[in-house]
Amino acid sequence: MLTFVCPDQPGIVHAVSGAIVAAAGNITESQQFSSADTGRFFMRLQVQTAASRDELAATILPVAEHYDLDWALDEVGRPIRTLILGSTAQHCVNDLLFRQRAGQLPIDVPLIMANHDNLRPLAEFYGVPFRSQAVTGAEQKAAFERAVVEAVEEHDIELVVLARYMQILSPELCAFLEGRAINIHHSFLPGFKGANPYRQAHARGVKLIGATAHFVTSDLDEGPIIEQNVVRVDHSNTPAELIAIGQDEESLTLRQAVRWFAEHRVLLDGQRTIIFR
């Protein structure tokens, strides 16, 4: 799997495909996009080859330098090392672990961290180490965030998933995790930012509720959107019912975003994402 981003210019596809031919590779999947907004060119390729990763990389390197490619090379299906942050809600974590174990989500989860203990039995059932640590004041919050940073480094974490973690991350942690932390927000952003979106949705009387998976940035609920889904509701649904109804959309939306990230299908184009589904 090869992804790259570069200034848009003629000849890139030919040059890259030439490098792949030189490495005796066969392109099995290919997607590209030229952004009119940023003038950048995005491409994702899946290549079948007998060459090793290093050999392939060596063949691509000169092309990458010539065309100023920002590129990544990975083995298709390699599980991404993922740290899950949770709180009390179980549905998103349950969905991620169930799918991971079923072989439908290419992630490895060496650790789940939470600010409550509720998730422990679920983590134990799936055999995932679990650590909980209360976050009730500024000091505890700083301690929790330090523990996150340490876990990221200790376990070579590539992706941090906020599976209804419900705490606002500090700007420092947001910066540290930039481009590798995904949050699930339980509304159809940009509607109903902030706390209690289902209560807001009920008060506003919307006819569809939704969920949004986005990259975490220090600008709360404003990070680049990766995936969104909605489901129909009506006047008879109480805020409590909206919460129950919305759980499927949250689980599904977060899982899709995590899968696409793990498959290197998510590329950043300024404040927007390119999704090569």
Catalytically annotated residues? 221
Q: Where are the alpha helices (DSSP H) in the chain?
A: 12-22, 53-67, 91-101, 120-125, 138-154, 171-176, 197-204, 239-262
Q: Which stretch binds a second copy (CB under 8 A): 72-80, 132-140, 158-166, 201-209?
A: 201-209
For the stretch 181-195, what's the b/e string if a residue is b when 16 or more beta carbons lie within 10 angstroms of its beta carbon?
A: bbbbbbbbbeebeee
d(CA 68, CA 190): 35
Determine which residue in the list 51, 57, 78, 90 makes contact with a second copy, applying CB under 8 A.
90
Residue 166 binds a second copy, judged by CB under 8 A: no
Which strands, in side-by-side order, build the sheet including 130-132? 130-132, 107-114, 80-86, 159-162, 181-185, 208-215, 225-232
Q: Please, which of residues 228-267 interact with a second copy by CB under 8 A?
A: 228-230, 234-236, 238, 244, 247-248, 252
Q: Please, which of residues 31-70 interact with a second copy by CB under 8 A?
A: 31-36
In whole angstroms, how close is the CB of 207 to a second copy at the nearest point?
Answer: 4
Query: Within a 10 A sphere around the Cβ of 107, how many other Cβ atoms?
Result: 20
Determine the Cα angle at 20 with ends 19 and 26, to 5°: 165
d(CA 151, CA 173): 13
Site string for a second copy, 126-165 (x = CB under 8 A): ----------------------------------------
Size of the site for a second copy (CB under 8 A): 65
Looking up tokens 């590539």, which residue turns up?
158
In whole angstroms, how close is the CB of 15 to a second copy at the nearest point?
Answer: 9
d(CA 172, CA 109): 24
Q: Which stretch binds a second copy (CB under 8 A): 65-73, 129-137, 161-169, 186-194?
A: 186-194
Which tokens is 69 given?
Answer: 């490619």
In the bound state with a second copy, the residue whose beta carbon lies nearer, of 109 and 211, is 211
Residue 106 binds a second copy, judged by CB under 8 A: no
Residue 208 binds a second copy, judged by CB under 8 A: yes
In whole angstroms, how close is the CB of 191 to a second copy at the nearest point?
Answer: 4
In whole angstroms, how close is the CB of 36 to a second copy at the nearest point?
Answer: 7
d(CA 244, CA 185): 15
Residue 86 binds a second copy, judged by CB under 8 A: no
Residue 123 binds a second copy, judged by CB under 8 A: no
> Which is it for the CA torsion 197, 256, 165, 179, positive or negative?
negative
Looking up tokens 């174990």, which residue turns up?
101
**Interacting residues with a second copy (CB under 8 A):** 8-11, 13-14, 17-18, 20-21, 24-36, 90-91, 94, 98, 102, 104, 121, 125, 188-192, 203-208, 210, 224-230, 234-236, 238, 244, 247-248, 252, 269, 271-275, 277
